[in-house]
């Protein structure tokens, strides 16, 4: 009997998360745990996905709440145990927010905080919660990041303060995991400028009709980086969907 590989993808009900889930479920003997924001989040698109032989989809709510962090963590772990999920091979930290694309002086501080909570704190929260299930020493923690979070490659005067700061913070977390956990392959991946809701929000902010990349192109590239990542190659790095290295 073939062994099953288990992925957990945060924010899997739309955009890149949904695209990754769709493609992975077409691989045989693959379990995908798809997290959604709450029990009221629509799961229609997820439930309509086809499966390969031996594959299955598990949908679970998972949110960030600093005030009841331990309760949320216990509930998630108990739910996974109920589905006999005792190991996660690949943790894809995909859930995020990209709704404020404004210059520095026009960016409200509450917007910075909201993006930081979604794009920086939530990936940390997910990693801390799910670490006991990671398949050490060969587990992978993959952050779906953005080139807009690169300080070295800052996009000139692009209005990205809230989003960029939050992604830069998440990138730091990924590199820190690489050095602190020898058994975890930790990589930040830029998925490209994709035709998603977040991608379109940025396009609107700079007067571009639409992002240049299709979801399918992005998913193919991102999965190539996930599949090929090892501790000796791209762990601790920030890479693009095409494999090129992006400076922090």
Q: State the SS3 of the chain.
A: CCCCEEEEECCCCCHHHHHHHHHHHCCCCEEEEEEECCCCCCCHHHHCCCCCCCCEEEEEECCCCHHHHHHHHHHHHHHHHHCCCCCECEEEECCCCCCCCCCHHHCCHHHHHHHHHHHHHHHHHHHHHHHHHECCCCEEEEEECCHHHCCCCCCCCCCCHHHHHHHHHHHHHHHHHHHHCCCEEEEEEECCCECCHHHHHHHHHCCCCCCCECHHHHHHHHHHHHHHCCCCCCCCCEEECCCCECCC
Strand 5-9 and strand 90-93: the pairing is parallel
Residue 17: per-residue pLDDT: 97
Residue 1: per-residue pLDDT: 43
Residue 244: per-residue pLDDT: 97
* Phi, psi for residue 6 in degrees, rounded to 5: -115, 125
How open is the CA angle 221-112-194, to the nearest 5 degrees?
Answer: 20
Residue 67: per-residue pLDDT: 63
Residue 68: per-residue pLDDT: 64
Residue 2: per-residue pLDDT: 58
Residue 13: per-residue pLDDT: 94
Residue 157: per-residue pLDDT: 72
Contact 98, 163 (CB under 8 A): yes
Residues marked active site are found at 163, 167
Q: Which residues of the chain are modeled with pLDDT < 50? A: 1
Has domain 5-240 been given CATH number 3.30.300.30?
Answer: no
Q: Where along the chain do its domains lie?
A: 5-240
């Amino acid at each position: 009997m073939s062994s099953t590989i288990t992925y957990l993808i945060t924010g899997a009900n739309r955009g890149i998360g949904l695209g990754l889930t769709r493609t992975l479920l077409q691989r045989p003997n693959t379990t995908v745990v798809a997290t959604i924001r709450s029990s009221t989040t629509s799961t229609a698109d997820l439930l309509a996905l086809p499966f390969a032989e031996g594959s299955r989809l598990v949908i679970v709510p998972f949110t960030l709440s600093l005030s009841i962090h331990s309760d949320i963590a216990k509930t998630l772990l108990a739910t996974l145990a109920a589905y006999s999920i005792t190991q996660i091979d690949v943790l894809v930290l995909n859930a995020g927010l990209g709704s404020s694309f404004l210059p520095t002086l026009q960016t409200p501080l509450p917007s910075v905080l909201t993006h930081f909570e979604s794009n920086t704190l939530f990936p940390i929260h997910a990693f801390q919660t799910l670490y006991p299930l990671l398949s050490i020493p060969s587990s992978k923690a993959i952050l779906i990041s953005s080139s807009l979070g690169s300080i070295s490659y800052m996009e000139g005067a692009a209005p990205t303060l809230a989003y960029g700061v939050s992604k830069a913070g998440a990138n730091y977390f990924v590199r820190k995991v690489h050095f602190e956990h020898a058994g975890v392959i930790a990589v930040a991946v830029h998925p490209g400028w994709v035709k998603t809701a977040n991608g379109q929000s940025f396009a609107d902010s700079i007067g571009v009709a639409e992002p240049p990349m299709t979801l399918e192109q992005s998913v193919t590239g991102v999965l190539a980086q996930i599949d090929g990542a090892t501790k000796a190659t791209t762990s601790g790095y920030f890479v693009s969907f095409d494999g090129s290295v992006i400076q922090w």
